[in-house]
Amino acid sequence: MSLIAASRNRLRHYLLKREQLADPRLGVWKAAKNASDQASYLRVCNICGWHGAEFLGHAHSEGANCPVCGSIARDRFLYWCWTKLVPYSSTQRVLETSPRLDKRYRSRMSSLVNYVASDYDESAHRATVRLDLQDLDLPDSSLDVVLTPHVLEHVPDTGKALHELFRVVAPGGSVMLMIPMPQGVTAPPVTVEYHGDNTLVYWRFGWDLRDQLEAAGFTVTCLVTQELIDRLNRKEVDTGWTGTDVDEVDLLSHADPGTLTAIADEREARRYGFQPDLHFIIWHCVKPS
């Protein structure tokens, strides 16, 4: 390794260590420390702290796996938005709906915050409690943070779910809502559609979801990567994406870059695996104090 490369790695290590000390949620897991490649910080998992030359698998919201904790790119983006925008508190009451990651992740979360994992039927995700987003069996204002990845599209009544989320979140609290965004305008699927865990899809959401979030009472910020905003400003809505999961042209033709907020710059998106840019959209919903 050259002296320049070694110096850069030392700087990266120092900056990551400083960030981890400032926020316990970013502390490195012991297994990640042991498995990391000290010579490479090209890719970093912000959940467990692993770093190395490359994630496993291809760049996709459902790919780019961390070799230690098993997080995929969308897991890391959700965690990134939470830790970037919601100040840490060990007393924070956090609900995560249908989390993908295993008991190691949940155990660590429980050691950091007042954490509960929920699922509706537990057919694909094991959880602590069973909850229906349309009828949450929780007291008013009983949560500070809700992390809800790829769940709302499987709920028949969006309005009821959003009303319930608003009810159970305390004033000033946050809902980090991550959903697939396959098209520009919300509509039900044209044909019967299931996701990989055999869960029926009721809604294919578009940018007009903001209207429903605001109607529920939330103050809303749409979080994306800087790369997406930059190419929208250049009016580059077609990169030739051929995946059947997103109609790139339709989605981005309806996007207004002025309503989007960058949560990760180009370098961060590469490092943590938030690519391709059209896959990484989170609605940060805050209940007014």
Domain spans, the chain = 71-286
Confidence band for 198, pLDDT divided at 50, 70 and 90? confident
The fold of 71-286 is Rossmann fold (3.40.50)
E strands, the chain, in order: 43-44, 51-52, 93-97, 114-119, 129-130, 143-149, 169-178, 219-225, 260-264, 282-286
What's the pLDDT at 4?
57
Query: Is residue 277's pLDDT more than 60?
Result: yes
Structure tokens at 253: 């033709």
Confidence band for 214, pLDDT divided at 50, 70 and 90? very high
Structure tokens at 261: 């907020």
Distance CA 38, CA 2 (A): 14
The lowest-confidence range among 10-19, 134-143, 275-284 is 10-19
What's the pLDDT at 199?
86
Mean pLDDT value across the chain: 92
Amino acid in the structure at residue 59: A
CB 276 within 8 A of CB 47: no
Query: Is residue 18's pLDDT more than 70?
Result: no
Residue 33, judged by CB atoms within 10 A of its CB (0-12, 13-18, 19+), counts as: middle
**Alpha carbons within 13 A on the beta-carbon side of 14:** 6
The lowest-confidence range among 39-53, 117-131, 160-174 is 117-131
Identify the sign of the CA torsion 40, 44, 49, 55.
Answer: negative
- SS3 state of residue 282: strand
Structure tokens at 83: 């830790």
CB 32 within 8 A of CB 46: no
Query: Is residue 196's pLDDT more than 80?
Result: no
Distance CA 274, CA 276 (A): 6
Query: Is residue 183's pLDDT more than 70?
Result: yes
What's the pLDDT at 71?
98
Structure tokens at 14: 């120092």
Residue 169, judged by CB atoms within 10 A of its CB (0-12, 13-18, 19+), counts as: buried
* CB environment 239-266: b (16+ within 10 A), e (fewer): eebeeeebbbeebbeebebeebebbbee
Q: What is this structure's pTM?
A: 0.92
C-alpha separations of 122 from 140, 192, 263 in Å: 24, 22, 32
Confidence band for 193, pLDDT divided at 50, 70 and 90? confident
For tokens 């769940």, name the residue: 151
What's the pLDDT at 82?
98
